[in-house]
């Protein structure tokens, strides 16, 4: 037996998730009042928040490694003796005379 393709497994998971959302929306549409709708709305919101959190975590996981790589590539090398940018100096003290 071959192992299932991870992309097809992900597609099946997403289809099942959409089916669950559709069922909850249908239950909301069939509810006669707010008190009857409330548990379905709560479940829809909890699912939405969970999906948003999971997506944020996935993005953060990808971005952290890219940010670290950018900082490592941007940091000066150990053998570098001359600064690449000019040295910034502050204003001259008020007591010094200019000629």
Per-residue pLDDT tens digits for 3-46: 667 788 989 999 999 999 999 999 999 999 999 999 999 999 99
| Residue at 68 is within a domain | yes
Task: Read off the pTM.
Answer: 0.55
| Residue at 98 is within a domain | no
Cα separation of 8 and 21, whole Å? 20
Q: Structural domain of residue 63, as residue ranges?
A: 13-73
| Residue at 93 is within a domain | no
Q: How many domains does the chain have?
A: 1
| Residue at 37 is within a domain | yes
Measured over all CA atoms, what is the biggest interatomic distance in the chain, rounded to whole angstroms? 89
| Residue at 34 is within a domain | yes
| Residue at 97 is within a domain | no
The pLDDT of residue 69: 85
Cα separation of 35 and 57, whole Å? 33
The residue written with tokens 């490592």 in the block is 72
pLDDT tens, 37-92?
999 999 999 999 999 999 999 999 989 888 888 888 887 665 555 656 766 777 77
Cα separation of 17 and 51, whole Å? 10
Q: What is the mean pLDDT of the chain?
A: 84
| Residue at 60 is within a domain | yes
């Amino acid at each position: 037996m071959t192992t299932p393709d991870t992309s097809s497994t992900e597609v099946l998971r997403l289809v099942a998730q959409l089916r669950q959302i559709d069922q909850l929306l249908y239950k909301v549409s069939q509810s006669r009042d707010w008190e009857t709708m409330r548990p379905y709305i709560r479940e829809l919101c909890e699912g939405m928040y969970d999906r948003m959190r999971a997506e944020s975590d996935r993005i953060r996981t990808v971005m952290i490694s890219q940010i670290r790589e950018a900082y490592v590539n941007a940091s000066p090398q150990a053998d570098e003796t001359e600064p690449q940018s000019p040295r910034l100096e502050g204003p001259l003290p008020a007591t010094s005379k200019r000629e």
